[in-house]
Amino acid sequence: MRYHYYPGCSLEGTARDYDRSTRAVLAALGVELLEIPDWTCCGASAAGAAGALLARVLPARNLALAERREAKRDVLAPCSACYLNLRHAAQAMRANPREAAAIREVLSVEELRPEGRTRVRHLLDVLACDVGADRVAARVIRPLRGIRIAPYYGCQCLRPYADFDDPERPTSMEPLIRALGAEVFRWRSGGACCGASLASTQREAGLSRIAAILDDARGADAVATVCPMCQMNLVAFQGPASRRLRRDLARTVLYLPQLIGLALGLPQEALGCRGEGGLPLPTPPGRAAVRGRSPDGAADRRDGEEVRR
């Protein structure tokens, strides 16, 4: 398995750990990454606000670079926002001839002439569908037994493109979590919105999103994320969110590849983890060593996803 790799700006910055753990884990699982040479920002949410075309051109440039290097290979993006922008651009190139023509016109200033055949894949898509839980399970040497992990998908890897999971009731992370030997924490907020940049621009609205999610994660040992924005919001605003709800909302939030890496027995530094990644890590057997977790904190409050028949 080989993919073009588009890390995106955050993974060089605040989400460096995501980048490191992604590379480490994929390497361990036998996935080869070809970082797109000279990649540039996908425009995040800002480009859309400034110009509709610019919002397509910025990601399309990166797809064009990937295509120039090797045409029939998927582009992997770990950041959900980057993924969506790239995905939008790919969609435009494929399905909207007028827009595609405009994009090509602009890209010609950099002498790029993409055909627009490149497929864009989110890291979670690749892990869940291409790598698969079985392959992960086969390499786990340090199972996260007794650990309850809340799968947090956020928005943009699920919506609006239902590429690999059900956007209303996502489950793609669950087999992976189980493959790690961990337990899937049932909650309602898996597909909830973290508020994205609202935490910076519209603080109150943003904080209420974050607080609701952290509150719902009560009873989980860790929240697994697949997006730098989600991760940042859930980690950096735990203090204000706690003050807002007058409740302790301190939670362990880790990137999914960090969790996988821990179970694969990769060194903590390679994953950007410190102090066991903040996780009450499995000192097998049992959960006796779980710190700061009252028994009733783990009270059963599952969002009964009952399956009929």
CB 61 to other proteins: min, Å: 7
Ranges of beta strands (E only) in the chain are 2-5, 32-35, 75-77, 120-122, 148-151, 183-184, 222-225, 253-255
Measured from the CB atom, the residue of 14 and 28 that comes closer to other proteins is: 14
The CB density around residue 283, as the number of other CB atoms within 10 Å, is 13
CB 92 to other proteins: min, Å: 12
Select from 173, 169, 167, 133 the least CA-distant residue to 152: 173
Residue 234 is which amino acid?
Answer: L
CB 177 to other proteins: min, Å: 18
Measured from the CB atom, the residue of 25 and 227 that comes closer to other proteins is: 227
Stretch that binds other proteins, among 139-147, 219-227, 232-240, 259-267 (CB under 8 A): 232-240
For the record, the structure tokens of 202 come out as: 């519209």
| Candidate residues 78, 190, 195, 277; the one interacting with other proteins per rule CB under 8 A | 195
| Candidate residues 168, 285, 291, 292; the one interacting with other proteins per rule CB under 8 A | 168
For the record, the structure tokens of 173 come out as: 């992370």
Structure letter (DSSP) for residue 79: S
Query: What span, in angstroms and rounded, lies between the C-alpha atoms of 251 and 238?
Result: 8
> Kindly report the CA angle at 250 between 265 and 23, in degrees rounded to 5?
30
Do residues 31 and 136 lie in contact, with contact meaning Cβ atoms separated by under 8 Å? no
Select from 109, 122, 71, 115 the least CA-distant residue to 90: 115
CB 112 to other proteins: min, Å: 10
Residue 265 is which amino acid?
Answer: G
Measured from the CB atom, the residue of 117 and 289 that comes closer to other proteins is: 117
Query: What span, in angstroms and rounded, lies between the C-alpha atoms of 102 and 292?
Result: 57
Contact flag: residue 113 with other proteins (CB under 8 A): no
Measured from the CB atom, the residue of 204 and 296 that comes closer to other proteins is: 204
Site size for other proteins (CB under 8 A): 80
Q: Restricting to residues 209-228, which ones interact with other proteins according to CB under 8 A? A: 209
CB 141 to other proteins: min, Å: 24
Measured from the CB atom, the residue of 203 and 293 that comes closer to other proteins is: 203
| Candidate residues 197, 215, 218, 270; the one interacting with other proteins per rule CB under 8 A | 197
CB 288 to other proteins: min, Å: 28
Q: Restricting to residues 19-78, which ones interact with other proteins according to CB under 8 A? A: 38-41, 43-55, 57-58, 61
* Cis ω before 167 (30° cut-off from 0): no
Q: Restricting to residues 246-305, which ones interact with other proteins according to CB under 8 A? A: 272, 274, 302-305
